[in-house]
Amino acid sequence: MLLAAGVEPSWYLVLASALFAIGATGLLIRRNPLVMFMCVELMLNAVTLTFVTFSRMLDDIGGQAVVVFVLVVAAAEVVVGLGIIVAILRRRPDATADDLALLKG
């Protein structure tokens, strides 16, 4: 039944929202800053999948062009974010997101 029906474009959207929700949950649960960063990448990928799916549903190349910009922003974000994480973890190898409480001074 399921296989005979053929794939609907909306299935991709449901999958993308599932990926986004998993990434958001991981971002809230995990305390290792590197893993939190990977969860952000997961959420960005869910959004790009949504863009490509809408591009196909509406037959509009604009959705695919936006994905290129998302990729550029993701690359810049990873470079700067990992630089900050390296600068912090070099001094405190056991730092987690909970150590932000130290900023209270």
Partner 1 sequence: METFVFLVAAAICLAGAFGVVLSKNPVHSALSLVGTLFGVAVLFVAQNANFLAAVQVIIYAGAIVVLFLFVIMLLGVDRAEDLKVDPLVGQRAAAIVAGVAIFALPVAALAATGWEATGAVSNLGPVAASDVPDIEGIGRVLFTRYIFALEITSILLAIAVVGAVMLAKKSPRAVDMIVDLPARQVAEPVTADVDGPGDATADAPSEEGTA
Considering only residues 22 to 61 of the shown chain, the ones binding partner 1 according to CB under 8 A are 22-26, 28-32, 34-35, 37-39, 41-42, 45, 48-49, 52-61
Residues 3-22 binding partner 1 (CB under 8 A) are 3, 5-15, 17-22
CB of 58 to partner 1, least distance (A): 5
CB of 4 to partner 1, least distance (A): 9
Helix (H) or strand (E) holding 47: helix 33-58
Burial-class residue 23 by CB neighbours within 10 Å (0-12, 13-18, 19+): buried
Q: Site size for partner 1, by CB under 8 A?
A: 79
> CA 92 from chain center: how many Å?
26
